[in-house]
Structure 1
Amino acid sequence: MTPYDKLESKLSLVYLINLIFYIIPLFNVRFALWQYVSMVAALLLFLLCYFWAYRCNRKEMHWPIVGIVVVAALITQVNPGSISMFAYAGFFIGYAYPLRRFLLLMALLIALLVTLDLTLTIHWNLFLIMGVPIVLAVSLLGRAEQAKQRHRLAELQSEDEIKQLATMVERERIGRDLHDILGHTLSSIILKADLAEKLLARQHTDAAQQQLTELSQIARDALSQVRQSVSGYKHQGLTAEVAKLLNRLRDAGFQALLIGDMPQLDNRRETALILALTELATNVIRHSNGDCCQLSFDQQDKLLHINLHDNGNVTKVTEGNGIKGLRERLSAIGGQLTTTYTDGFNAAIQLPLQEQM
């Protein structure tokens, strides 16, 4: 059951103050004993239906509404203050039903008031003159309460949708981060392990030990990065991370060159750029058959141009999830990636120097 199905009952006792029109005649007018008894009984039955209406959902609210109308109609000749009971019925009608049914039921309720005024001896000349505006006005309060509940439900649904979207985005982020971080790191681990194996085969134990030590450190860094990825990727800055990438390219047998100066970026775009370069460097290590890789940074106007180029012989290229995720990551910060495969692989990243709002 949604919040829109039920009325809030915390103020239901306060709202009963409107019964003053029904209660005042009990003290200002002298009645016969049976009339007092009938008015008290009618009041108790009304309260039963009233709290029933607060506790049931909108689809079942017709039963307490009918009960209130019947009780009010039966007691009207004795106490015309029953108009307050009709007002409560109008409120619940306004709250429970869509517009067309609301208009129909309110027309029937007003017709009932007119019928009672014409057929009964009611000792209050203002029964219709004051009663009809009161009932209509209170019914509009019911419509307002329905609109408020509908708006509240829409807000709750919007919050749920936002939470679900945020969860989805976070999962995609973690997936991309793990792919970028672990893809590159595992490639480096394989490279170090293969190199250590070859050095051991040649009895170069000292050099092999150095490679194993570096392999251990890479594995430790990977574990730390995986832990960090669930709360947001942390890094040592663009300069330090680019230096690591160049060293790993050199370990893989590439002549790695750096051209240009490191830009100053905010943390969000710096993180995205580091992960993008990590993915691109990983692809070079995995797939390139070249021996030279060049990374360049160039600032023009308000744009930063980054190019990663290797001299491998590219014959057939199929872009996978890594490049797709990289494009999405760059697009989220206003950047774009262009890849070409003439005279080797070239990845060109264009990124605004200032974060776009």
Structure 2
Amino acid sequence: MTNTPLQLEQKLAWVYLINLVFYLIPLFITPYSSWQIILILAVLVPFIYCYFWTYRCNFRSAYRPIIAMLVLATVVTPINPGSISLFTFASFFIGFFYPIRVSVFCWFGVVVLLFLLNYLNQFNNLYFPLYGTLLVLGVGMLGVAERRRYHHKLKEQQSAQEISTLATMVERERIARDLHDIMGHSLSSIALKAELAEKLLAKQEYQLATTQLQELGQIARESLSQIRHTVCDYKHKGLASCITQLCHSLRDKGIYVELIGELPKLPARAESQLGLILTELVNNILRHSSASQCSITFREQENTLFVEVKDNASASPFIEGNGLTGIRERLDSLGGHFSYNLEQGYAFTVSLPLQGATV
């Protein structure tokens, strides 16, 4: 198991910057000169740089942008008490990257800094340090909660990886056991009969040697047939297993998946082809769609199976590529049809006759 470095996800990084509105509120309340307004706004440029710098850091290097943010907040405080907002960003990152004992020590240092700034700048009351302390501790605990959520998610991913690895090992052992059971006896028999035929030929007992060679050929053909059936079983995982894997892939990308209806019972060939068709449709969603929701619906009507794969992405006309062409060819061989609708997202429908699907 590898140790993944603790690192923030950047998915909602821009959204969190909305908290900087509290930094700008004093501009609408207190009169400032032009150079003060320019300075207040100018501080945001290096601060935002440090903010995104933190997202690229792990716990070993995060202290650098955190210290830089604290310095910027300290420098701008004499002009703009809204710098409390900047201190809260730093406290969140402290809570996320460092253990609780280290975080508490750092928060205490930030709180002391707030009271010191209040004293040095001779603010009229204790609003700045008291309100700042409340925010530093509150937002800092949010960082701790985010850290725990991250660790929980990481453990789930590692557990899933371990389960997948274990399943792979079990499958390999099963394949090795099956091949040993199939081929072990057959190869021993082939070797024995080949050796016996060689001895009979040496004694010029051609009739008996021919019999042994015929039996040898029969054993080889039976072994080949057994191997083909075994390989076919390995390739055919079943529709239920295929659907489960596709749902996992969609959820891993953050797409909500809903399965509607019951999985049909189909002949092996039709089930295999349907699995390949659904794999192609889901892969198109994973590669090209911006959907956040997806549904896979199974419905039987008048001896026909209808399967619909639908998502909520903004749909636009497209040119069919090799993937959709391949889907039509697979369905043609089974007597099925393929269609799609772009009115409300992408909706692809596969219809497959239940009678005659045993081809």
Same fold judged by TM-score > 0.5? yes
Q: 1:77–1:121: 8 Å Cα contact kept in structure 2?
A: no
- Matched with 1:147 is 148
1:211–1:148 distance in 2 versus 1, CA, 3 Å: same
Structure 1: stretches of 5+ with no match in the other structure: 235-357
Q: 1:4–1:149: 8 Å Cα contact kept in structure 2?
A: no
How far has the Cα of 1:184 moved from its partner? Answer: 0.6
Deviations 1:231-264 (A, max 9, x none): 7579xxxxxxxxxxxxxxxxxxxxxxxxxxxxxx
- Matched with 1:130 is 131
1:162–1:34 distance in 2 versus 1, CA, 3 Å: same
How far has the Cα of 1:2 moved from its partner? Answer: 6.6
- Matched with 2:20 is 19
The answer to whether 1:77 aligns with 2:101 is no
1:168–1:99 distance in 2 versus 1, CA, 3 Å: same
- Matched with 2:93 is 92
Structure 2: stretches of 5+ with no match in the other structure: 236-359
The answer to whether 1:42 aligns with 2:34 is no
How far has the Cα of 1:61 moved from its partner? Answer: 0.6
Alpha-carbon RMSD: 2.7
How far has the Cα of 1:181 moved from its partner? Answer: 2.0
- Matched with 1:110 is 111
Q: 1:77–1:122: 8 Å Cα contact kept in structure 2?
A: no
How far has the Cα of 1:29 moved from its partner? Answer: 2.0
How far has the Cα of 1:86 moved from its partner? Answer: 0.5
How far has the Cα of 1:195 moved from its partner? Answer: 4.6
How far has the Cα of 1:84 moved from its partner? Answer: 0.7
Matches within 5 A, 1:234-313: none
Bigger RCO of structures 1 and 2 (CA < 8 A, at least 6 apart) = 1
The answer to whether 1:178 aligns with 2:205 is no
> Between Structure 1 and Structure 2, whose CA radius of gyration is higher?
1
Task: Kindly provide the amino acid, as one letter, of the partner of residue 77 in structure 2.
Answer: T
Deviations 1:81-130 (A, max 9, x none): 11111100000000111122111111111111122222223367522332
Task: Kindly provide the amino acid, as one letter, of the partner of residue 107 in structure 1.
Answer: F
Q: 1:4–1:150: 8 Å Cα contact kept in structure 2?
A: no
How far has the Cα of 1:42 moved from its partner? Answer: 1.7
The number of residue pairs the alignment matches comes to 234
Task: Kindly provide the amino acid, as one letter, of the partner of residue 52 in structure 1.
Answer: W
Instruction: Tell me the distance in 1 between the aligned counterparts of 2:232 and 2:7.
Output: 39
Task: Kindly provide the amino acid, as one letter, of the partner of residue 177 in structure 2.
Answer: R
How far has the Cα of 1:225 moved from its partner? Answer: 3.6
- Counterpart secondary structure, 2:8: coil
Q: 1:86–1:135: 8 Å Cα contact kept in structure 2?
A: yes
Instruction: Tell me the distance in 2 between the aligned counterparts of 1:176 and 1:228.
Output: 15
- Matched with 2:64 is 63
Q: 1:6–1:58: 8 Å Cα contact kept in structure 2?
A: yes
Seq. identity, %: 50
How far has the Cα of 1:199 moved from its partner? Answer: 5.6
Q: 2:111–2:132: 8 Å Cα contact kept in structure 1?
A: no
Instruction: Tell me the distance in 2 between the aligned counterparts of 1:167 and 1:14.
Output: 41
Task: Kindly provide the amino acid, as one letter, of the partner of residue 64 in structure 2.
Answer: W
How far has the Cα of 1:227 moved from its partner? Answer: 5.2
Instruction: Tell me the distance in 2 between the aligned counterparts of 1:3 and 1:13.
Output: 24
Task: Kindly provide the amino acid, as one letter, of the partner of residue 143 in structure 1.
Answer: V
1:138–1:233 distance in 2 versus 1, CA, 3 Å: closer
TM-score between the two structures when normalised by the length of structure 2: 0.59
How far has the Cα of 1:213 moved from its partner? Answer: 2.5
Instruction: Tell me the distance in 2 between the aligned counterparts of 1:134 and 1:27.
Output: 21
Task: Kindly provide the amino acid, as one letter, of the partner of residue 130 in structure 1.
Answer: Y
Q: Which moved more, 1:192-201 or 1:135-144?
A: 192-201
Instruction: Tell me the distance in 1 between the aligned counterparts of 2:208 and 2:69.
Output: 93
Deviations 1:287-330 (A, max 9, x none): xxxxxxxxxxxxxxxxxxxxxxxxxxxxxxxxxxxxxxxxxxxx
Q: 2:73–2:86: 8 Å Cα contact kept in structure 1?
A: yes
1:45–1:190 distance in 2 versus 1, CA, 3 Å: closer
